[in-house]
């Protein structure tokens, strides 16, 4: 009798994958050639493996996906180093695939900006990754680039509805045209939804009243700035017949707009970020307020509550980190202009996402473990064309897995994180539960919190949006 | 026994004033010093009058109000003449009060543009009139002008949400700021709601496909251009806590947005125009298509039906004409640029409004006589601060009255109209029912269709918006 | 020169009639042959009258209408006396027309019950009145009575959705059939909306738990009992294509059901009563609790607030009193059965309605004076087919008028009321503002609070429902 | 090296299980001790099995569940035989678990009726089954039976909102009380939703007009009869805080009520049946109309379309057959009374459900294969407490599997079916695709359409409702 054995078998773990089963399951996982090749009841039919890992007492999740990360050169000095450091932080935190964004400067650079960023990623990358193509300001004649990007496996985009550092504003004209192209060719447009003209109104009014400085930051971009833009984007998308993804929703009104559209059966998908869930705008009055500068701003307790509710009730589909790695020196440099919006923005948090949402969300009863795992795995995987290759523990899927020890207690401190920065906004936060092992396509990369495979062979994943995503709220 | 007699008594007419009574009433009207001083049942208590007019067989309506007229210099050669001709047409058609618009060129000209237009109106004007103050592009520092305009009795405004000939675009920033000022000081902002960026998208796309010329005019500004802008304006107004008036709604979606807001109790008021009710976009393919060039464009039969329904079910509050007097020569001059939007726009129709809406609306069962009279009288009077001085037949109100002969048949022809132009888009239309007498503040101006008082003593009416208008849909 | 003079002229009053004008008006009123024959600006054209009343300093309202009164024999010993006493109280309180209900005992008694009640009313009645025809349990073969009642001028009905003392339950079968007949012949069905089966559930459950007595009265018929029945009735009416009137809405959910239906354009009309607006269910725990026994029960503060809001925002169209005159002796008699629903119900309050709602509603900012006057005059007049004969101050209307002194202060006490009972639930309440004069069809009945015309010539008013009432929320 | 082999391995099939993956998957299935013990990619890691079945070219679905079957004694002469015949038809058609109903006659028989039906099922049953406990008319004192039934593993109930043959009416009182008990103890109430009083109205009206006979059957119970009852049941359930299941929804309005409730996040679950999806009310005018007698009636094309839409868009969660086996002789016997509702009702169709819905639904583009499989497997399994033991192909689940040949063409004819009856309403229908093999807990029962295991060891499955089902629309 000759039978083949698996390359690797993960035994005795407790599998949490809401797509697989509503309840935790004792299942052994067989892995071969980087994919899950077999699933078998623990203790019944022992899968044979060249290597066997005992996951007793641990949760096994599908490898996490972060749909919203910005690779920077600020810490490592260049983008290549940025990919290395951020992916190292990601894989330590259980995130086996993240999405970065391109930076086209000219109308005709949509495709070349993808190439440029792929070149930036040609060093050691410790997790898999994908790229959202940022939409430059362009004319109808340039729209063919959207079709090409989709055909080349980059079917997700981002439009900044107001000018943002290095990215030009996508006005309603281009937004509509690009959405039409997305409908036609199978793309998914996402938006940074803020109304720049309203931001300008509130900012100028405050400055006129002598109210400058970070403590007025949230007031300078009140909820309507975001909510109006979200409503407009949803309406434009609806008319164009295209699905739409809303990055970093921060306001109760924004969440309600997404909920309402989904209740009408529209293909609308929303995301929020950890800082909107874990802080309130009170931080802008603290001394360390400058660390939290990021648009849209962190808002009130009422908004925070509404965001948790939108995660729990199915309104939102993802939690992205909007991770931006930077240093204290960089954050402290004086703002270039007189305006409270000019502080350098962003914070690194891809590594702490899972543990914090578990401790602050699941352990505090704001969200079920099942739902959290969905938001970090199948949610983004379905929307962005990675499912079922990633985002679930199914036979045939990539063997991206994270083992989570629900009992490990830890105090978060910058020195123990791997993003290369010299601070964390979560300094001193206590969590219970931490990811202890990460597998990427069958390779153990992190084991008991240590990097055990430094090959850095993370790949860019080609994608195709599932037609279901176009029909209605399918994730 | 000494008793005073009225200056004028109107006897035996059938009064139609839905605010007064749901059914036609046989009431005699006593007039003294330009105002209605007494109402008495016909045949019971004979009111005494120095002059008595017998209105037997005629309907008596409150003098009509047209909230949307543009005085031009195109026919008469100067604005003063424009006021004369258009007011002459108005009073012949039963309209005793119309609203014109100012033309500020600079941020600081909101008030001076009012003064300028008042000077333009210092010749013979045959009906009363009011001015909506058009909002120039301006900064926060200029907003005091809004407060001043309101205090001076000009509490209604118009914001062009896209650039329009001679008027600059009011962006969301200024719209919000101006709405806040309106809430604070008691003003009512109105909007020309079109999304210029979307118009640009559709126009360019057509031109790119080689589709130029008037036949593509409607396609160059499809419904979403208007509907998106209306939704945005309603949302901004709601957040600013201010009421809003939407000029010339043309699309089913726009009507629905207004209806939905009103159902939620928001102070939103809508208007449409005769050309959207009486034509469809097929006219743009006709030879005479250039006569109908006007933004927003005339739309489909489905939209026309939706507009009639919105008039009938209480969604809209007014029918304005958007009257622009011009000549065939002027209309025929070659467009300045390559674009189908460059034909000179507008049509004169203040004189035919009542007769056409009566024949096409009431006689064809699309709307009740009561509702039509409301839309032409109390509707605009309530919204713009003229009520109950104008817009109703009540003791104390201005004695603005129109006598309508429901049996007079007429074929509309340019030569018999009084607007000074040399064509009408309604040439050859047959109507049954025509206004035969108009009284302005107690003076008979038109009698049996003829001008009998050429003093031209129409006045500009000072106004104050009723606080009820701020609370919810109060008209 | 010969002119006629009026029989009576009311001078210098401040007319409050929202149908006439949104603001108070200084108008003199000429009356001839029982009707308003002329209206004239105060001080301008003096109307001549055989008799002149000076109303300086007083409000002049249209005579009030109470759509919900139950004449009883409990105080006077017979129904005829009941009509006398209750109409005396009504006219003292400014109510010039009230609606009583018939009491058919058999399926074929719909018409004869009308006749019977008319006979009961053939003595001195001091105000005008109308009859709602109560629907007996009946079969399809009996429905012709509905058509006959409408033709005889009794076009409004009442169906008890659960059995009520002396009235049999109208089940969904009969309700639908009767609504169809109403649609066909022009009738308006009203409902006492409670789900008797749910009442039974909650009552039995309480009794089972040993919770008996009035303090559990409200709990024995919680909001859902009413709200479910209202929803069902509205749905049945909608399918039958008929308008519907909901008597005595008491719950927030019931009000919301009415609001929602009206927002959808359905012809639904709602009423609430003073006791639901002025007390909460705390009264059932007071010693005097037995005075407040009436179904549906008085509810929580949240419900009370919702009812005021529904009055103010246009959801409800009427305030009826559900007046039932009885004596303390009668109220105190031991309940016949073991159940807390068995106390004799009802309270007399037709006389105090206006003053209390003015002091507790208008003076406390819960409702505008205009809206209150509408709810007590034009609202019920429009719905039940009395308008514009009653419910407004217009030329040709019945000269039913009430003069209200807004400055007269009064402490309500049973001894000064005219309903013949020996207590009032409002004993000791202080009000500011009291009706001082009532005119019925041109006759002064009450002057300075005293009966000055004891002829008692109140009439039953024939009616026809306005077709507008069938189309949508027209009142 | 010693490893165990599976009892049975299913190789090379195409697995369709929407809970497992959105796309068909080539997966081998290992089965041990009646459960799925392993899943492995086809061709990669060969699972070892004592027996191996080659499913190449076939779809593999989870064993189907039919939530709505009525076992009768009409064909076999006794209930035991009824269980045998209907389960034989079920397992031939791919249904491995069906739900039958109890028949309590007295208030205190809820539990004993379960026992009685279990005794009826103690012969050969070829599929697994469950029992819904029918609610007898009862008092509060009898409600403890609900708690007991839930504790004994029978947590789903059925309430007849109108009297039905052998089952007494559950009025609103009992419905509310039972729903409260369900909320408290974890039960799920289902309703046969028709308003008996409205049915009575329409029936009597038709009879009165001389319209008798089956052709008037649908008209005798128009949509409102069902829709009103559904709305009422949903409202009562909402107030009681309990989930609710609606059996056999037949009308567009009923579907809309379910959709609306689910959009508001309420735990409402709906079912429809094949005959409502495959016929219209035209059948009642056909000679064979008597075969289709079943309440609620089959309705119009508009309703049929709405039901398909509700299946496709997620409004409904299940398709039950309402299977009733009977013979032509029985169907033809003269109705006992004068009424068109008195024909003996029901039709056998548990065997044809899958093939017909596949050919008429999936092949005609009305519904996706994924969604159909969900409605027949995970949908009912989740709602009624069988998931994930049944309703999905997951490690640890019961090895209930059906192999479907999508290319097998067949003309349905009564002689080839296994329900023991002598006709089928689908006689002559052509289908493409037929279930060819059924496994029950690892045993092959049907192979190539033939019974290969006649042990008949189907079991009654104990159940517990998932708490998620209580929170919102979780299936």
Contacts of C21 in chain B (CB under 8 A): 388, 392, 394, 396
Over pLDDT 70: what percentage of chain C?
A: 96
In C109-168, the residues whose Cβ lies within 8 Å of chain D are 139-141
- In this complex, is the C-beta atom of B184 within 8 Å of any C-beta atom belonging to chain A? no
Name the residue of chain B whose CA is nearest to A227's CA: B235
Name the residue of chain A whose CA is nearest to D27's CA: A395
Q: Is the pLDDT of residue C177 over 60?
A: yes
Shortest distance, CA B146 to any CA of chain A (angstroms): 17
Please state the pTM of the whole predicted model: 0.83
Residue predicted with more confidence, D23 or A232: A232
* Domain span at C89: 62-390+463-471
Name the residue of chain C whose CA is nearest to D194's CA: C172
Across the interface, whether the CB atoms of A40 and D35 are under 8 A apart is answered: no
In tens, the pLDDT along D94-138 reads 999 999 999 999 999 999 999 999 999 999 999 999 999 999 999
Question: For position A3, what pLDDT does the model report?
Answer: 45
Residue with tokens 């004369």: B84
Q: Is the pLDDT of residue D343 over 80?
A: no
Which residues does D30 contact at the CB level (< 8 Å), separation at least 6? A40, A45, D6, D8, D9, D36, D37, D38, D39, D40, D47, D49
Q: Is residue B203 part of a domain?
A: yes
Question: For position A342, what pLDDT does the model report?
Answer: 56
Q: Is residue B338 part of a domain?
A: yes
Across the interface, whether the CB atoms of B231 and A231 are under 8 A apart is answered: yes
Name the residue of chain A whose CA is nearest to D21's CA: A388
Contacts of B177 in chain A (CB under 8 A): 201, 205
Q: Is residue A142 part of a domain?
A: yes
- In this complex, is the C-beta atom of B312 within 8 Å of any C-beta atom belonging to chain C? no
In tens, the pLDDT along B192-206 reads 999 999 999 999 999
Q: Is residue B430 part of a domain?
A: no
Question: For position C293, what pLDDT does the model report?
Answer: 87
| Cα distance between residue C407 and residue C434, in whole Å | 8
| Cα distance between residue B255 and residue C75, in whole Å | 57
Q: Is residue D446 part of a domain?
A: no
Across the interface, whether the CB atoms of B4 and C46 are under 8 A apart is answered: yes
| Average pLDDT of span D371-386 | 97
Out of C174, C200, C231, name the one closest to residue D235 (CB).
Answer: C231
- Which of A38-42, C135-139, D257-261 is the least confident region? A38-42
- In this complex, is the C-beta atom of A220 within 8 Å of any C-beta atom belonging to chain B? no
Contacts of C7 in chain B (CB under 8 A): none
Which residues does D56 contact at the CB level (< 8 Å), separation at least 6? D11, D12, D13
Which residues does D186 contact at the CB level (< 8 Å), separation at least 6? D150, D155, D464, D465, D467, D470
In tens, the pLDDT along C334-377 reads 665 556 555 667 899 999 999 999 999 999 999 999 999 999 99
Examine residue C388 and say whether the peptide bond preceding it is cis (omega within 30 degrees of 0).
yes
Question: For position A333, what pLDDT does the model report?
Answer: 76
| Cα distance between residue A61 and residue A98, in whole Å | 16
Contacts of B237 in chain A (CB under 8 A): none
Question: For position D2, what pLDDT does the model report?
Answer: 33
Q: Which of C4, C23, C40 to mutate to test the interface with B (most CBs of B within 10 A)?
A: C40
| Cα distance between residue C188 and residue C465, in whole Å | 7
Q: Is residue B175 part of a domain?
A: yes
Name the residue of chain D whose CA is nearest to A394's CA: D20
Q: Is the pLDDT of residue C28 over 90?
A: yes
Q: For residue A467, count CB atoms less than 10 angstroms from its CB and return exposed for 0-12, middle for 13-18, buried for 19 or more.
A: exposed
Q: Is the pLDDT of residue D334 over 80?
A: no
Across the interface, whether the CB atoms of A46 and D3 are under 8 A apart is answered: yes
Buried b (16+ CB within 10 A) or exposed e, D185-212: bbbbbbbbbbbbbbbbbbbbbbbeeeee
| Average pLDDT of span D10-25 | 88
Query: Which phi and psi (to 5°) does residue D20 adopt?
Result: -85, -45
- In this complex, is the C-beta atom of B45 within 8 Å of any C-beta atom belonging to chain C? yes
Residue with tokens 């009996």: C142
Question: For position A419, what pLDDT does the model report?
Answer: 96
Q: Is residue D68 part of a domain?
A: yes
- In this complex, is the C-beta atom of A46 within 8 Å of any C-beta atom belonging to chain D? yes
Question: For position B343, what pLDDT does the model report?
Answer: 62
| Average pLDDT of span B391-398 | 92
DSSP-derived letter for residue A240 is H
* CA B273, chain centre distance (Å): 8
* CA A78, chain centre distance (Å): 22
- In this complex, is the C-beta atom of C466 within 8 Å of any C-beta atom belonging to chain B? yes
- In this complex, is the C-beta atom of D201 within 8 Å of any C-beta atom belonging to chain C? yes
Task: Name the domain count of chain D.
Answer: 1
Question: For position D44, what pLDDT does the model report?
Answer: 62
Contacts of D22 in chain A (CB under 8 A): 382, 387-388, 466, 468
Three-state SS for D469? helix
Across the interface, whether the CB atoms of D208 and C235 are under 8 A apart is answered: no
Shortest distance, CA B19 to any CA of chain C (angstroms): 6
Q: Which of A24, A11, A9, A7 is nearest to A54 (CA)?
A: A11
Shortest distance, CA D475 to any CA of chain A (angstroms): 12
Q: Is the pLDDT of residue D342 over 60?
A: no
In tens, the pLDDT along C40-96 reads 888 766 678 889 999 999 999 999 999 999 999 999 999 999 999 999 999 999 999
Asked if residue C269 lies in contact with residue C244, where contact means CB atoms within 8 angstroms, the answer is yes
Residue B147: half-sphere exposure toward Cβ, Cα within 13 Å: 10
Lookup: tokens for C121: 């009313």
Confidence of residue D1 (pLDDT cuts 50, 70, 90): very low
- Any chains having at least 3 CB pairs less than 8 A from chain D are A, C
Q: Is residue D252 part of a domain?
A: yes
Q: Is the pLDDT of residue D345 over 80?
A: no
Q: Is the pLDDT of residue B284 over 80?
A: yes
Over pLDDT 90: what percentage of chain B?
A: 82
Q: Is the pLDDT of residue C4 over 60?
A: no
What is the per-residue DSSP string for B110-144? HHHHHHHHHHHT-S-BSSEEEEEEE--S--GGGTH
Three-state SS for C298? coil
Lookup: tokens for D57: 């070219």
Residue A399: half-sphere exposure toward Cβ, Cα within 13 Å: 25
Contacts of B235 in chain A (CB under 8 A): 224, 227-228, 231
DSSP-derived letter for residue D333 is S
Q: Do chains B and C touch by CB distance (3+ pairs < 8 Å)? A: yes
Out of D3, D39, D392, name the one closest to residue A395 (CB).
Answer: D39
Domain CATH number, residue A202: 3.20.20.140
Query: What is the ipTM score, two decimals?
Result: 0.87
Shortest distance, CA C445 to any CA of chain D (angstroms): 49
Shortest distance, CA D81 to any CA of chain C (angstroms): 40
| Average pLDDT of span C124-153 | 96
- Any chains having at least 3 CB pairs less than 8 A from chain B are A, C
Contacts of B173 in chain A (CB under 8 A): 197-198, 200-201
| Cα distance between residue D384 and residue B202, in whole Å | 53
- pLDDT digit string (tens) for chain A, length 475 residues: 234 578 999 999 999 998 777 778 899 999 999 999 899 888 766 778 889 999 999 999 999 999 999 999 999 999 999 999 999 999 999 999 999 999 999 999 999 999 999 999 999 999 999 999 999 999 989 999 999 999 999 999 999 999 887 788 999 999 999 999 999 999 999 999 999 999 999 999 999 999 988 899 999 999 999 999 999 999 999 999 999 999 999 999 999 999 999 988 899 999 999 999 999 999 999 999 989 988 999 999 999 999 999 999 899 999 999 999 999 988 887 665 556 555 667 899 999 999 999 999 999 999 999 999 999 999 999 999 999 899 999 888 999 999 999 999 999 999 999 999 999 999 999 999 999 999 999 999 999 999 999 999 999 999 999 998 998 888 8
Question: For position C333, what pLDDT does the model report?
Answer: 76
In tens, the pLDDT along D407-457 reads 999 999 999 999 999 999 999 999 999 999 999 999 999 999 999 999 999
- Any chains having at least 3 CB pairs less than 8 A from chain C are B, D
Confidence of residue B3 (pLDDT cuts 50, 70, 90): very low
């Amino acid at each position: 009798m000759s039978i083949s054995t698996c390359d690797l078998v993960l035994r005795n773990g407790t599998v949490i994958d809401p797509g697989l089963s509503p309840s935790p399951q004792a299942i052994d996982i067989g892995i071969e050639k980087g994919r899950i090749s077999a699933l078998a009841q623990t203790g019944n039919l022992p899968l044979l493996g060249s290597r066997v890992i005992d996951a007793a007492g641990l949760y096994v999740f599908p490898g996490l996906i972060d749909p919203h990360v910005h690779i920077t050169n600020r810490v490592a000095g260049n983008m290549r180093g940025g990919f290395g450091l951020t992916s190292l932080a990601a894989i330590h935190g259980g995130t086996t695939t993240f999405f970065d964004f391109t930076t086209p400067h000219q109308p005709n650079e949509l495709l070349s900006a993808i190439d440029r960023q792929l070149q930036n990623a040609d060093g050691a990358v410790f997790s898999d990754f994908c790229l959202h193509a940022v939409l430059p300001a362009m004319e109808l004649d340039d729209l063919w680039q959207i079709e090409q990007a989709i055909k080349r496996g980059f079917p997700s985009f981002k439009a900044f509805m107001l000018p943002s550092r290095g990215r030009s504003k996508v006005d309603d004209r281009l937004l509509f045209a690009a959405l039409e192209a997305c409908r036609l060719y199978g793309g998914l447009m996402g938006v940074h939804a803020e109304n720049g003209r309203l931001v300008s109104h509130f900012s100028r009014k405050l400055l006129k009243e002598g109210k400058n400085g970070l403590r007025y930051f949230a007031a300078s971009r009140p909820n309507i700035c975001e909510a109006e833009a979200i409503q407009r984007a949803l309406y434009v998308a609806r008319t164009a017949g295209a699905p739409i993804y809303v990055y970093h929703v921060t306001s109760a009104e924004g969440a309600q707009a997404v909920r309402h559209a989904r209740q009408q059966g529209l293909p609308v998908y929303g995301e929020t970020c950890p800082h909107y869930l874990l802080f309130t705008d009170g931080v802008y009055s603290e001394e360390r307020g400058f660390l939290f500068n990021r648009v849209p701003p962190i808002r009130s307790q009422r908004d925070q509550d509404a965001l948790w509710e939108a995660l729990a009730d199915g309104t939102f589909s993802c939690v992205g980190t909007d991770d931006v790695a930077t240093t204290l020196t960089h954050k402290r440099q004086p703002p270039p202009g007189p305006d409270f919006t000019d502080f350098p923005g962003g914070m690194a948090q891809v590594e702490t996402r899972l543990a914090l949402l578990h401790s602050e969300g699941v352990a505090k009863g704001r969200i079920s473990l099942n739902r959290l795992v969905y938001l970090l795995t199948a949610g983004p995987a379905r929307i962005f064309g990675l499912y079922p290759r990633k985002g679930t523990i199914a036979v045939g899927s990539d063997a991206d897995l994270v083992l989570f020890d629900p009992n490990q207690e830890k105090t978060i401190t910058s020195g123990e994180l791997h993003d290369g920065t010299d601070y964390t906004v979560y300094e001193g936060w206590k969590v219970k539960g931490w990811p202890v092992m990460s597998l990427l396509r069958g390779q153990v990369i992190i084991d008991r919190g240590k990097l055990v495979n430094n090959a850095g062979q993370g790949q860019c994943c080609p994608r195709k949006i599932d037609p279901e995503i176009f029909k209605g709220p399918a994730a």
